[in-house]
Amino acid sequence: MSKLVASNPLLTLADRAEVTTLLDMARRQVEAHPDGTAVIFIPADGSAARHVTTKAFFDGAACYADALRKLGIGNRDLVILVMEHSEALLYAFWGAMMIGAIPSMFPFLSDKLDPQLYFERVKLLITHSGAKAVIASEGFVESLTTLLAESGTNVIGERHLSGEAITPDFEAGAVGDDVAFLQHSSGTTGLQKGVALPHRSVLNQIASYSEAIHLTPDDVIVSWLPLYHDMGLIAGFVLPITQGIPLVLMSPFHWVRDPKILLHAIHAHKGTLCWLPNFAYNLMATRIRDNALTGMRLETIRHFINCSEPMHVDSHRLFMERFRAYGLRETALATCYAMAENTFAVTQGIPAHENGGTSASVTVDTISRAVLTDQHRAIPATDGELSIEMLSCGRAIPNCTIRIVDDSKEKRVLPERSVGEVAVRSDSMLQGYYKRDDLTAEALFDGWYLTGDYGYLADGELYITGRKKDLIIVGGKNVYPQDLELIANQVQGVHPGRVVAFGVDDTRLGTENIVMVVEAESTDDDVRTEISKEVRRRVAAETDVTLSNVLVVDSMWLHKTSSGKIARGANRDKYLHEVGLA
């Protein structure tokens, strides 16, 4: 077993005024506990984990800062990091901040992304943002150099970042309102939106969110999450590094190949906190064999926190039943609603039992499906009627306010249990979209960020019903594609998580038809016909919605976003092209 030494002190709301930049927090941790554990890297090759102390971590970042400075990168220069998940990526990120530059991690090309589309988006954002340099893993240097030949952006291979071992400099001349780094909203056009986050907002988020999850110096965070996504970047990197909480880190590619490594890392290093997207609950519950878990225990986990994509009650139940025998407590299953535009978390859902209540699980709201569809309200269901179980996202974190607004120009506030757009205001918000004032103006209304998510409030807790842009309107009724996809995912023969529903305009009827595309595990035509029939039957039986078409396709047909979510718009376009409607 590893003995982890956490650094102190934690940044709290009470002392927030004393710290103005992330570099102030870095200095604070180095001075307080230089020998505390900063990061433990779990290598993909099966070799021993590498332990890095707080001092060694920032010494490594200082070497990269020295190298970047010698390459002509300086204050407020934008530096794009197109690098594999590695120690080098972590050092490059902090090294850039140490010289006052603005680092921004890009998704690394994987089999989830179309290469041509990926490079087009990279070029578009880099050209528009005026990046000073791109730091790339060696395998990408040639392609990026050719791609950006006319942009004036310098492409630098990772091997050139060999600076001298110097004393870390935490005096970059940055102030609280300076941009610390950029995050990128995921989606089919997400790489075009660089979310500019000032030091002040990030520090406010760290203090508020630490309070919401009851963070202590005894915590140990374990993560496989991609660092270019807000959940991985903030919860699985920036928060533990700045708060002096030991971080056990592994590659997302390694985890996807072998998901049991996350649970073994929690066991070996006594992990207490772990953030997961909803699909990971299903994947680990169904793909990890019993013989891979011999001797493993999960008693140390305070919370697995479900976040970053639509959350499902059934996923929690499946995960709980699968791992209860290994010491997993029901109170460990928590929820969160988050977005890059608020740095990360907006709400945190903690079982009531953790806060002196009686429930051992996050609140589940069982509402009438008919009332939601016809009246756009979330009313508790009566016995016998079709219902939906909604999993609470929890309450707003400190210094964050949520309201539900209608679609009018005035954005009128809606009463409790009315479904509308979720609007957020906090001290953790973005400064704006980097060099995209047009997008910033669209997203902000009188100081409120309009999330594009539909949801409702009940007893102070937030519930998300779907994305505004994904909503399908059939005969005046609102249909949430996520509900239909959840049903289709349960049909035998459907590849779990590889399902998408969307609306297609029917000009003849003046409404939308609903189309479902599902990936099948079988290539047999008869089997696929039965899958299509069963998807139609179940959707009709459980929702009173009729699907216009169910297209059963091969594995890897569906497009995904950079963060691994099904790209609804891109798949709709692909469908229209293939059926000759584009």
- Domain containing residue 552: CATH number: 3.30.300.30
Tell me if 233 is assigned to some domain.
yes
CA distances from 30 to 26, 57, 89, 92, 170 (A): 6, 9, 20, 18, 11
Average model confidence (pLDDT) across the chain = 90
Tell me if 205 is assigned to some domain.
yes
pLDDT band at 1 (very low <50, low <70, confident <90, very high): very low
118: domain CATH number is 3.40.50.12780
Tell me if 494 is assigned to some domain.
yes
Pick from 356, 13, 427: nearest CA to 211: 13
Distance, in Å, from the CA atom of 9 to the CA atom of 214, rounded to the nearest integer, reads: 14
Q: Give percent above pLDDT 90 in the chain.
A: 65
Q: What phi-psi label fits residue 564: left (phi over 0), alpha (psi between -120 and 50 degrees) or beta?
A: left
Q: Which residues of 375-388 are buried (b: 16+ CB within 10 A; e: fewer)?
A: ebbbeebeeeeebb
Q: What phi-psi label fits residue 517: left (phi over 0), alpha (psi between -120 and 50 degrees) or beta?
A: beta
- Contact criterion met (CB below 8 Å) for 454 and 420: yes
Three-state DSSP state, 65: helix
Domain boundary among 232, 257, 282: 257
Q: Which structural domain, as residue segments, surrounds residue 207?
A: 16-257
Number of domains in the chain: 2
Tell me if 192 is assigned to some domain.
yes
Pairing of strands 37-42, 50-53: antiparallel
Distance, in Å, from the CA atom of 221 to the CA atom of 266, rounded to the nearest integer, reads: 9
Tell me if 439 is assigned to some domain.
no
Domain boundary among 228, 257, 286: 257
Domain boundary among 207, 229, 257: 257
Looking at residue 109, its pLDDT comes to 76
Give yes or no for residue 323 having a pLDDT over 60.
yes
Distance, in Å, from the CA atom of 468 to the CA atom of 183, rounded to the nearest integer, reads: 22
Q: What is the mean pLDDT of residues 202-220?
A: 97
pLDDT tens digit sequence for 96-123: 999 999 999 988 777 656 677 678 778 8
CA distances from 68 to 60, 258, 335 (A): 13, 35, 39
pTM of the predicted protein model: 0.86
Q: What is the mean pLDDT of residues 334-363?
A: 90
Pick from 315, 321, 325, 307: nearest CA to 283: 315
Distance, in Å, from the CA atom of 279 to the CA atom of 496, rounded to the nearest integer, reads: 9
pLDDT tens digit sequence for 220-269: 999 999 999 899 999 999 999 999 999 999 999 999 999 999 999 999 99
Tell me if 516 is assigned to some domain.
yes
- Contact criterion met (CB below 8 Å) for 349 and 393: yes
Tell me if 317 is assigned to some domain.
no
pLDDT band at 565 (very low <50, low <70, confident <90, very high): confident
pLDDT tens digit sequence for 276-319: 998 899 899 999 999 999 999 999 999 999 998 888 899 999 99
Tell me if 135 is assigned to some domain.
yes
pLDDT tens digit sequence for 25-79: 999 999 999 999 999 999 988 889 999 999 999 999 999 999 999 989 999 999 9
Residues composing the chain: 582
Looking at residue 577, its pLDDT comes to 87
Q: Which helix (H) or strand (E) holds 525?
A: helix 525-543
